[in-house]
A = this chain, B = another copy of it.
């Protein structure tokens, strides 16, 4: 087995275990077992338990941001971009339930380091939204009195809460598309001029 494989195997085992128990209730031994690896092996790839969490963050979230940005670049119309953003956000959550749970639950943990770290990556993600709003305002499609800094949080928050519901409950009455359409419709009709 190649080294990269083992690193990845441990990261994915950790995502599973953290999602199941939460970071503080997860034992290294459990991650090791899930990855079919000895406890000690984990320390050949990571400095400590905490480091695994940070790695999940770095590697997996970076990937997601990239994906969304690329998708946005394909579209011109800010209105369409917003709808697509909602769709892609929710479907990424759906496809990566365990990762989503770790991000949503654990990375809100208040360790100063994680908090600052989260904020950087997170700000980048939120700014994709405010950029869309600014573009729309420049083009006269969105109302000028909409504050992009408030909007980005409100829009993201709406999607995020919706995802939490999915991640935690698992018995959903409506699909990703319905939810994405509803949510972007709430907001869009709200910020479209006239």
Contacts and interface: CB of A to CB of B under 8 A. Distances in A.
Contacts of A45: none
Interface stretch (A31-39, A64-72, A180-188): A180-188
Contacts of A178: 147, 150
Contact of A22 (B111, B151, B191): B111
A147 B22 contact: no
Given A153-B158, A158-B157, A187-B186, A108 B111 contact: no
B154 A186 contact: yes
* 6 interchain residue pairs of minimum CB distance: A157-B161, A190-B190, A154-B158, A24-B24, A186-B190, A22-B110
A93 B39 CA distance: 43
Given A186-B191, A187-B190, A190-B190, A156 B161 contact: yes
A157 B162 contact: yes
Nearest to A149: B173
A15 to B, nearest CB: 13
Contacts of A191: 186, 189
A108 B110 contact: no
Interface string A149-177: 11101111111111011001000011000
Contacts of A187: 186-187, 190
